[in-house]
Amino acid sequence: MIKPHGAETLTPLYVSDDAERAELTKEAEQLPSVLLSSGAAASAVMLASGYFTPLTGYMNISAATSVASDMKLPNGLFWPVPVMNIVPSEQLTDAVKNSDRISLRDPNVEGNPPLAILKVSAIETLSTEQKQLLIEKTFGTTDPEHPGVPAYADVGDNVLSGPIDVLNYSYFREDFPDTFRTAVEIRKDIEARGWDTVVAFQTRNPMHRAHEELCKIAQREVNADGILIHMLLGKLKPGDIPGAVRDASIRAMVQHYFPENTVSITGYGFDMLYAGPREALLHAVFRQNCGASHFIVGRDHAGAGDYYGAFEAQEIFDTIPEDALEIGIFRGDFTVWCKKCNDIVMMRDCPHGGDDYFNVSGTKQREILAAGEPLPPEIARPEVAEILMEYYQSEADA
Protein backbone atom coordinates (compact mmCIF):
# COMPACT_ATOMS: atom_id res chain seq x y z
CA MET A 1 0.00 0.00 0.00
CA ILE A 2 1.14 3.55 -0.72
CA LYS A 3 3.10 5.15 2.14
CA PRO A 4 1.68 8.08 4.12
CA HIS A 5 2.89 11.55 3.22
CA GLY A 6 6.35 12.23 4.62
CA ALA A 7 6.30 9.26 6.99
CA GLU A 8 6.60 5.49 7.11
CA THR A 9 3.42 5.16 9.17
CA LEU A 10 0.49 7.40 10.05
CA THR A 11 0.85 9.75 13.02
CA PRO A 12 -2.70 10.19 14.40
CA LEU A 13 -2.83 12.52 17.41
CA TYR A 14 -5.92 11.00 19.03
CA VAL A 15 -5.12 9.68 22.51
CA SER A 16 -6.20 6.08 22.00
CA ASP A 17 -5.36 4.71 25.46
CA ASP A 18 -8.57 4.94 27.50
CA ALA A 19 -6.92 5.58 30.84
CA GLU A 20 -4.57 8.23 29.46
CA ARG A 21 -7.42 9.92 27.59
CA ALA A 22 -9.59 9.98 30.72
CA GLU A 23 -6.75 11.54 32.72
CA LEU A 24 -6.07 14.17 30.06
CA THR A 25 -9.78 14.97 29.74
CA LYS A 26 -9.91 15.54 33.49
CA GLU A 27 -6.83 17.77 33.26
CA ALA A 28 -8.34 19.71 30.33
CA GLU A 29 -11.34 20.68 32.46
CA GLN A 30 -9.00 22.46 34.89
CA LEU A 31 -6.65 24.14 32.42
CA PRO A 32 -6.96 27.68 31.07
CA SER A 33 -8.82 27.43 27.79
CA VAL A 34 -9.65 29.03 24.47
CA LEU A 35 -12.63 28.41 22.23
CA LEU A 36 -11.48 27.18 18.83
CA SER A 37 -12.83 28.44 15.56
CA SER A 38 -14.76 25.83 13.60
CA GLY A 39 -11.87 25.54 11.15
CA ALA A 40 -9.27 25.01 13.88
CA ALA A 41 -11.53 22.43 15.54
CA ALA A 42 -11.85 20.56 12.26
CA SER A 43 -8.08 20.65 11.87
CA ALA A 44 -7.77 19.07 15.33
CA VAL A 45 -10.04 16.25 14.15
CA MET A 46 -7.92 15.81 11.04
CA LEU A 47 -4.76 15.71 13.17
CA ALA A 48 -6.45 13.15 15.43
CA SER A 49 -7.45 11.03 12.45
CA GLY A 50 -4.04 10.81 10.78
CA TYR A 51 -5.08 12.75 7.67
CA PHE A 52 -2.57 15.50 8.50
CA THR A 53 0.37 13.10 8.85
CA PRO A 54 3.16 13.98 9.57
CA LEU A 55 2.08 17.19 11.34
CA THR A 56 2.19 17.19 15.15
CA GLY A 57 -0.01 20.21 15.82
CA TYR A 58 -0.74 23.79 14.81
CA MET A 59 1.81 25.81 12.83
CA ASN A 60 3.49 28.98 14.06
CA ILE A 61 3.59 32.07 11.85
CA SER A 62 6.98 31.21 10.33
CA ALA A 63 5.87 27.71 9.32
CA ALA A 64 2.50 28.92 8.05
CA THR A 65 4.16 31.64 5.98
CA SER A 66 6.58 29.11 4.50
CA VAL A 67 3.67 26.84 3.57
CA ALA A 68 1.64 29.71 2.11
CA SER A 69 4.52 31.15 0.08
CA ASP A 70 6.47 28.06 -0.97
CA MET A 71 4.24 25.06 -0.10
CA LYS A 72 7.00 23.73 2.15
CA LEU A 73 7.27 23.09 5.86
CA PRO A 74 10.43 24.46 7.53
CA ASN A 75 12.01 21.00 7.15
CA GLY A 76 11.44 21.16 3.37
CA LEU A 77 8.53 18.70 3.19
CA PHE A 78 5.77 19.58 0.76
CA TRP A 79 2.61 20.94 2.40
CA PRO A 80 0.05 23.07 0.52
CA VAL A 81 -2.14 24.86 3.11
CA PRO A 82 -1.40 26.42 6.53
CA VAL A 83 -2.86 24.61 9.56
CA MET A 84 -3.32 27.24 12.27
CA ASN A 85 -5.11 28.03 15.49
CA ILE A 86 -6.00 31.72 15.33
CA VAL A 87 -8.01 33.34 18.14
CA PRO A 88 -9.26 36.87 18.94
CA SER A 89 -7.51 38.99 21.56
CA GLU A 90 -10.29 38.62 24.13
CA GLN A 91 -9.40 34.93 24.41
CA LEU A 92 -5.85 35.72 25.53
CA THR A 93 -6.46 35.94 29.26
CA ASP A 94 -3.53 36.22 31.64
CA ALA A 95 -4.07 32.57 32.56
CA VAL A 96 -3.77 31.52 28.91
CA LYS A 97 -0.71 33.70 28.34
CA ASN A 98 1.07 32.29 31.38
CA SER A 99 0.30 28.60 30.84
CA ASP A 100 2.39 26.13 28.89
CA ARG A 101 -0.63 23.80 28.49
CA ILE A 102 -4.10 24.99 27.57
CA SER A 103 -7.42 23.34 26.80
CA LEU A 104 -8.91 23.80 23.34
CA ARG A 105 -12.71 23.86 23.54
CA ASP A 106 -15.01 22.68 20.76
CA PRO A 107 -17.27 25.37 19.20
CA ASN A 108 -19.44 22.78 17.45
CA VAL A 109 -20.59 20.69 20.43
CA GLU A 110 -23.06 21.89 23.05
CA GLY A 111 -21.33 23.07 26.20
CA ASN A 112 -18.02 23.55 24.37
CA PRO A 113 -16.23 20.56 25.93
CA PRO A 114 -12.46 20.14 25.64
CA LEU A 115 -11.45 18.79 22.24
CA ALA A 116 -7.69 18.78 22.72
CA ILE A 117 -4.81 19.95 24.89
CA LEU A 118 -2.23 22.25 23.33
CA LYS A 119 1.35 22.27 24.56
CA VAL A 120 2.04 25.92 23.84
CA SER A 121 5.16 26.52 21.77
CA ALA A 122 4.40 30.15 20.96
CA ILE A 123 1.74 32.83 21.15
CA GLU A 124 2.25 35.30 18.31
CA THR A 125 0.34 38.14 16.68
CA LEU A 126 -0.25 38.25 12.94
CA SER A 127 0.51 41.54 11.25
CA THR A 128 -1.91 42.84 8.66
CA GLU A 129 0.66 42.04 5.96
CA GLN A 130 1.17 38.48 7.21
CA LYS A 131 -2.54 37.78 7.34
CA GLN A 132 -3.03 39.18 3.82
CA LEU A 133 -0.21 36.98 2.53
CA LEU A 134 -1.71 33.85 4.12
CA ILE A 135 -5.12 34.58 2.62
CA GLU A 136 -3.88 35.60 -0.83
CA LYS A 137 -1.59 32.58 -1.23
CA THR A 138 -4.11 30.07 0.10
CA PHE A 139 -7.20 31.30 -1.73
CA GLY A 140 -5.73 33.27 -4.63
CA THR A 141 -7.88 36.23 -3.53
CA THR A 142 -8.57 38.44 -0.51
CA ASP A 143 -12.16 39.08 -1.58
CA PRO A 144 -14.30 38.89 1.61
CA GLU A 145 -17.15 37.48 -0.50
CA HIS A 146 -15.13 34.34 -1.16
CA PRO A 147 -16.71 31.68 1.10
CA GLY A 148 -13.38 30.57 2.57
CA VAL A 149 -11.65 33.90 3.19
CA PRO A 150 -13.57 34.80 6.40
CA ALA A 151 -12.26 31.61 8.04
CA TYR A 152 -8.90 33.38 8.13
CA ALA A 153 -9.87 37.04 8.00
CA ASP A 154 -12.49 37.15 10.76
CA VAL A 155 -11.20 34.82 13.50
CA GLY A 156 -8.65 37.14 15.10
CA ASP A 157 -4.93 37.85 14.88
CA ASN A 158 -3.38 35.73 17.63
CA VAL A 159 -1.68 32.48 16.68
CA LEU A 160 -1.37 29.73 19.28
CA SER A 161 0.98 27.03 18.00
CA GLY A 162 2.39 23.77 19.23
CA PRO A 163 1.75 20.02 19.43
CA ILE A 164 -1.65 18.75 20.54
CA ASP A 165 -3.21 15.68 22.12
CA VAL A 166 -6.75 15.16 20.80
CA LEU A 167 -9.39 13.79 23.17
CA ASN A 168 -12.30 13.06 20.83
CA TYR A 169 -13.57 13.42 17.27
CA SER A 170 -15.98 16.31 17.96
CA TYR A 171 -19.48 15.64 16.60
CA PHE A 172 -18.46 13.45 13.70
CA ARG A 173 -18.59 10.03 15.39
CA GLU A 174 -22.06 10.69 16.81
CA ASP A 175 -23.60 12.42 13.80
CA PHE A 176 -22.11 10.13 11.12
CA PRO A 177 -21.47 6.77 12.81
CA ASP A 178 -21.70 4.77 9.57
CA THR A 179 -19.59 7.14 7.51
CA PHE A 180 -16.97 9.02 9.52
CA ARG A 181 -13.68 7.14 9.39
CA THR A 182 -10.13 8.04 10.32
CA ALA A 183 -7.26 7.57 7.90
CA VAL A 184 -6.13 4.70 10.13
CA GLU A 185 -9.49 2.96 9.78
CA ILE A 186 -9.62 3.44 6.01
CA ARG A 187 -6.17 1.92 5.57
CA LYS A 188 -7.25 -1.09 7.60
CA ASP A 189 -10.43 -1.44 5.54
CA ILE A 190 -8.55 -1.27 2.23
CA GLU A 191 -6.20 -3.96 3.47
CA ALA A 192 -9.10 -6.13 4.68
CA ARG A 193 -10.82 -5.85 1.29
CA GLY A 194 -7.65 -7.01 -0.44
CA TRP A 195 -7.49 -3.90 -2.60
CA ASP A 196 -4.13 -2.85 -3.99
CA THR A 197 -4.98 -0.07 -6.44
CA VAL A 198 -7.59 2.34 -5.08
CA VAL A 199 -8.97 5.47 -6.74
CA ALA A 200 -10.37 8.12 -4.37
CA PHE A 201 -13.17 10.58 -5.10
CA GLN A 202 -13.70 13.75 -3.06
CA THR A 203 -17.18 15.20 -2.73
CA ARG A 204 -19.03 17.83 -0.76
CA ASN A 205 -22.15 17.32 -2.92
CA PRO A 206 -24.57 14.49 -3.64
CA MET A 207 -23.19 12.53 -6.56
CA HIS A 208 -24.97 13.14 -9.85
CA ARG A 209 -24.63 11.03 -12.99
CA ALA A 210 -21.43 12.75 -14.10
CA HIS A 211 -19.75 12.04 -10.75
CA GLU A 212 -20.82 8.41 -10.96
CA GLU A 213 -19.43 7.97 -14.45
CA LEU A 214 -16.22 9.85 -13.60
CA CYS A 215 -15.55 7.33 -10.82
CA LYS A 216 -16.23 4.41 -13.13
CA ILE A 217 -14.04 5.82 -15.92
CA ALA A 218 -11.19 6.45 -13.47
CA GLN A 219 -11.51 2.94 -12.05
CA ARG A 220 -11.29 1.43 -15.55
CA GLU A 221 -8.41 3.59 -16.71
CA VAL A 222 -6.17 2.98 -13.68
CA ASN A 223 -7.40 -0.63 -13.30
CA ALA A 224 -8.37 -0.02 -9.69
CA ASP A 225 -9.61 -2.78 -7.40
CA GLY A 226 -11.92 -0.35 -5.66
CA ILE A 227 -13.23 3.20 -5.37
CA LEU A 228 -13.01 5.24 -2.16
CA ILE A 229 -15.90 7.72 -2.11
CA HIS A 230 -14.71 10.09 0.57
CA MET A 231 -17.14 12.85 1.51
CA LEU A 232 -16.47 15.98 3.51
CA LEU A 233 -18.67 16.00 6.64
CA GLY A 234 -17.79 19.39 8.14
CA LYS A 235 -19.09 22.91 7.66
CA LEU A 236 -20.14 24.12 4.21
CA LYS A 237 -21.25 27.40 2.68
CA PRO A 238 -24.96 28.33 2.64
CA GLY A 239 -26.84 26.52 -0.11
CA ASP A 240 -24.74 23.35 -0.03
CA ILE A 241 -26.62 20.16 0.81
CA PRO A 242 -26.22 18.83 4.40
CA GLY A 243 -24.07 15.80 5.13
CA ALA A 244 -26.85 13.44 6.14
CA VAL A 245 -28.77 14.04 2.90
CA ARG A 246 -25.60 13.72 0.86
CA ASP A 247 -24.69 10.50 2.64
CA ALA A 248 -28.11 8.91 2.02
CA SER A 249 -28.14 9.84 -1.67
CA ILE A 250 -24.62 8.51 -2.28
CA ARG A 251 -25.45 5.23 -0.56
CA ALA A 252 -28.56 4.84 -2.73
CA MET A 253 -26.52 5.42 -5.89
CA VAL A 254 -23.80 2.94 -4.91
CA GLN A 255 -26.31 0.28 -3.86
CA HIS A 256 -28.09 0.31 -7.21
CA TYR A 257 -25.40 1.23 -9.75
CA PHE A 258 -22.02 -0.15 -8.63
CA PRO A 259 -20.96 -3.81 -8.39
CA GLU A 260 -20.76 -5.20 -4.87
CA ASN A 261 -17.47 -4.69 -2.98
CA THR A 262 -16.12 -2.17 -5.46
CA VAL A 263 -16.90 0.98 -3.43
CA SER A 264 -16.09 2.09 0.10
CA ILE A 265 -18.29 4.98 1.31
CA THR A 266 -16.56 7.05 3.98
CA GLY A 267 -16.30 10.60 5.25
CA TYR A 268 -13.88 12.85 7.08
CA GLY A 269 -14.26 15.67 9.59
CA PHE A 270 -13.04 18.84 7.92
CA ASP A 271 -14.60 22.19 7.06
CA MET A 272 -14.58 23.04 3.35
CA LEU A 273 -12.07 25.76 2.45
CA TYR A 274 -13.23 26.39 -1.15
CA ALA A 275 -9.57 27.10 -1.89
CA GLY A 276 -9.59 25.57 -5.37
CA PRO A 277 -6.08 24.58 -6.51
CA ARG A 278 -4.44 24.69 -3.07
CA GLU A 279 -7.26 22.64 -1.58
CA ALA A 280 -6.95 20.07 -4.38
CA LEU A 281 -3.34 19.52 -3.31
CA LEU A 282 -4.44 19.17 0.32
CA HIS A 283 -7.13 16.69 -0.73
CA ALA A 284 -4.45 14.63 -2.46
CA VAL A 285 -2.42 14.55 0.78
CA PHE A 286 -5.50 13.30 2.66
CA ARG A 287 -6.05 10.47 0.17
CA GLN A 288 -2.42 9.41 0.15
CA ASN A 289 -2.57 9.25 3.93
CA CYS A 290 -5.67 7.04 3.88
CA GLY A 291 -4.03 4.63 1.44
CA ALA A 292 -5.48 5.49 -1.98
CA SER A 293 -3.09 5.03 -4.90
CA HIS A 294 -4.93 7.50 -7.17
CA PHE A 295 -7.02 10.61 -6.66
CA ILE A 296 -9.61 12.09 -9.03
CA VAL A 297 -9.31 15.82 -9.67
CA GLY A 298 -12.21 17.01 -11.76
CA ARG A 299 -13.41 20.26 -13.23
CA ASP A 300 -13.41 23.21 -10.75
CA HIS A 301 -12.25 20.96 -7.93
CA ALA A 302 -12.91 22.58 -4.51
CA GLY A 303 -13.90 25.81 -6.21
CA ALA A 304 -16.56 28.41 -5.57
CA GLY A 305 -18.15 30.88 -7.93
CA ASP A 306 -15.79 32.17 -10.62
CA TYR A 307 -12.68 32.47 -8.47
CA TYR A 308 -10.78 29.71 -10.29
CA GLY A 309 -10.47 28.47 -13.83
CA ALA A 310 -12.11 25.17 -14.71
CA PHE A 311 -8.84 23.21 -14.65
CA GLU A 312 -6.59 25.27 -12.36
CA ALA A 313 -6.90 22.58 -9.69
CA GLN A 314 -5.36 20.08 -12.12
CA GLU A 315 -2.71 22.43 -13.50
CA ILE A 316 -1.28 23.18 -10.05
CA PHE A 317 -0.07 19.57 -9.85
CA ASP A 318 2.25 20.40 -12.77
CA THR A 319 3.93 23.14 -10.70
CA ILE A 320 4.99 21.04 -7.69
CA PRO A 321 8.14 18.87 -7.52
CA GLU A 322 7.72 15.39 -8.99
CA ASP A 323 8.51 13.80 -5.63
CA ALA A 324 6.16 16.05 -3.62
CA LEU A 325 3.42 13.40 -3.56
CA GLU A 326 3.38 9.67 -4.25
CA ILE A 327 -0.32 9.46 -5.09
CA GLY A 328 -1.28 9.40 -8.78
CA ILE A 329 -3.69 12.03 -10.12
CA PHE A 330 -6.54 11.14 -12.48
CA ARG A 331 -7.63 14.26 -14.34
CA GLY A 332 -11.29 14.48 -15.23
CA ASP A 333 -12.56 16.47 -18.19
CA PHE A 334 -15.94 18.16 -18.63
CA THR A 335 -18.46 15.35 -18.13
CA VAL A 336 -21.77 15.68 -19.99
CA TRP A 337 -24.78 13.73 -21.19
CA CYS A 338 -24.34 13.08 -24.91
CA LYS A 339 -27.65 12.65 -26.74
CA LYS A 340 -26.03 10.72 -29.58
CA CYS A 341 -24.07 8.40 -27.28
CA ASN A 342 -27.12 8.18 -25.00
CA ASP A 343 -24.76 8.16 -22.05
CA ILE A 344 -22.58 10.22 -19.73
CA VAL A 345 -19.22 10.91 -21.40
CA MET A 346 -16.08 12.93 -20.83
CA MET A 347 -15.89 15.42 -23.68
CA ARG A 348 -12.30 14.49 -24.50
CA ASP A 349 -13.43 10.94 -25.23
CA CYS A 350 -16.52 11.78 -27.30
CA PRO A 351 -16.61 12.56 -31.06
CA HIS A 352 -19.77 14.68 -30.76
CA GLY A 353 -20.30 18.19 -29.43
CA GLY A 354 -22.34 21.35 -29.26
CA ASP A 355 -26.08 20.69 -29.25
CA ASP A 356 -25.45 16.99 -28.63
CA TYR A 357 -24.46 17.76 -25.06
CA PHE A 358 -26.52 18.33 -21.92
CA ASN A 359 -24.45 19.81 -19.09
CA VAL A 360 -24.47 17.78 -15.86
CA SER A 361 -23.21 19.68 -12.81
CA GLY A 362 -23.81 20.09 -9.10
CA THR A 363 -24.76 23.73 -9.67
CA LYS A 364 -27.35 22.76 -12.27
CA GLN A 365 -28.68 20.06 -9.96
CA ARG A 366 -29.11 22.53 -7.08
CA GLU A 367 -30.79 25.10 -9.33
CA ILE A 368 -33.39 22.60 -10.54
CA LEU A 369 -34.07 21.34 -7.03
CA ALA A 370 -34.33 24.85 -5.59
CA ALA A 371 -36.91 25.68 -8.28
CA GLY A 372 -39.00 22.71 -7.13
CA GLU A 373 -38.62 20.92 -10.45
CA PRO A 374 -37.93 17.18 -10.88
CA LEU A 375 -34.39 16.17 -11.74
CA PRO A 376 -34.13 14.75 -15.27
CA PRO A 377 -32.63 11.24 -15.59
CA GLU A 378 -29.65 12.72 -17.45
CA ILE A 379 -28.60 14.42 -14.18
CA ALA A 380 -29.59 12.09 -11.35
CA ARG A 381 -30.49 8.48 -10.81
CA PRO A 382 -34.17 8.20 -9.75
CA GLU A 383 -33.28 6.78 -6.33
CA VAL A 384 -30.99 9.76 -5.72
CA ALA A 385 -33.45 12.28 -7.14
CA GLU A 386 -36.16 11.07 -4.76
CA ILE A 387 -33.98 11.69 -1.69
CA LEU A 388 -32.88 15.13 -2.88
CA MET A 389 -36.37 16.25 -3.88
CA GLU A 390 -37.73 15.18 -0.50
CA TYR A 391 -35.06 17.27 1.24
CA TYR A 392 -35.72 20.38 -0.88
CA GLN A 393 -39.46 20.01 -0.38
CA SER A 394 -39.01 19.82 3.39
CA GLU A 395 -36.90 22.98 3.26
CA ALA A 396 -39.56 24.76 1.21
CA ASP A 397 -42.27 23.73 3.68
CA ALA A 398 -40.23 24.76 6.74
Domains defined along the chain, listed by start: 18-173 (3.10.400.10), 178-397 (3.40.50.620)
- Phi, psi angle pair for 231, to nearest 5°: -100, 140
Buried b (16+ CB within 10 A) or exposed e, 189-208: bbeeeebebbbbbbbbbbbb
Q: Name the 3-class secondary structure at 344.
A: strand
Cβ atoms of 335 and 311 closer than 8 Å:
no
What is the C-alpha to C-alpha distance for residues 259 and 105, in angstroms, rounded to an integer? 43
205, 209, 251, 381: which one is catalytic? 205
* 368-375 contact pairs (CB < 8 A, 24+): 372/396
Strand 226-232 versus strand 198-203 pairing type = parallel
321: CB partners within 8 A, 6+ apart: 78
- The answer to whether residues 48 and 166 touch, using CB atoms and an 8 Å cutoff, is yes
d(CA 297, CA 311): 9
Judge if pTM exceeds 0.85.
Answer: yes
Whether 205 is catalytic? yes
The tens-digit pLDDT sequence of the chain (398 residues) is: 999 999 999 999 999 999 999 999 999 999 999 999 999 999 999 999 999 999 999 999 999 999 999 999 999 999 999 999 999 999 999 999 999 999 999 999 999 999 999 999 999 999 999 999 999 999 999 999 999 999 889 999 999 999 999 999 999 999 999 999 999 999 999 999 999 999 999 998 888 888 898 999 999 999 999 999 999 999 988 877 888 899 999 999 999 999 999 999 999 999 999 999 999 999 999 999 999 999 999 988 999 889 999 899 999 999 999 999 999 999 987 778 888 888 887 778 888 888 888 776 667 777 888 888 888 888 889 999 999 889 888 877 76
220: annotated active-site residue? no
How far CA 185 is from CA of 3, 45, 95, 191, in Å, comes to 15, 14, 38, 10
Of the residues 181, 187, 204, 278, only one is catalytic, namely 204
Q: How far apart are CA 1 and CA 8, in angstroms?
A: 11
